[in-house]
Structure 1
């Protein structure tokens, strides 16, 4: 299968990586934790990449920017659920150590991607 343009974006790859890591962690939780925090965090983290993908398919700068803003909101929601999961002893320090660098890189990349949409780099003649 040929990759779409959005799949080549580092910001999308980070979102996908974070979603996969969280999926693997939540899959090992007990049922009550999965049904409460687990489902919420998986939905919010999956929404980050989904909105990047959907926005890139709109071929309209305004729509694309709107979807990236939604992705940014989903990242904030994911942060909330990660904090809840850690406070409730559902995440180990090792797991947090693996997730934190991805979140820390993803946040500024999302902001930079948002700022770049609709801006064509000027070339010097």
Structure 2
């Protein structure tokens, strides 16, 4: 019997967060040193933790443990919204990049909540 198991790269929240983290990495890598080491590092850490927490939760066995990490990713999304605003106000990113980042960050909570709902409904343990 061949079962098809859900893979991490099939989770929309994960793939969108992963691509966003690479977009932000590429933007920040061109900033001046002061901006990179003050706002930049924290923005990169926060955005990287979105997909990392989804991945860690996905790798956990128990339902409650999985969901705990998915909730951590929601906190990182909120943190990234703050860093995105600061980067815009301080003229470190242009309006087009700001909107692209904002739109992705705004869509991610719904995707994470869908993942939480799926986990709650489909897993027994």
TM norm structure 2: 0.88
1:20 is aligned to 22
Structure 1 residue runs of 4+, over 4 Å off?
Answer: none
Asked whether 1:79 is paired with 2:81, we answer yes
Alpha-carbon deviation of 1:107? 2.0
Is there any run of 5+ residues in structure 2 with no aligned partner, and where? 1-5
Distance 1:32 1:91 in 2: 15
Separation in 2 of the partners of 1:76 and 1:104? 9
| Residue matched to 1:41 | 43
> Deviation string for 1:81-102 (max 9, x for gaps)?
1111111111100111322232
Q: CA RMSD in A?
A: 1.5
Report how far residue 105 of structure 1 moved. Answer: 2.1
The 5-angstrom pairing of residues 1-12 of structure 1 reads 5-12=7-14
For these two proteins, the number of residue pairs brought into alignment is 118
Aligned to 1:88: 90
Structure 1 stretches lacking a partner, 5+ long: none
Aligned to 1:29: 31
How much has 1:22 moved relative to structure 2? 0.4
- TM-score when scaled to structure 1? 0.88
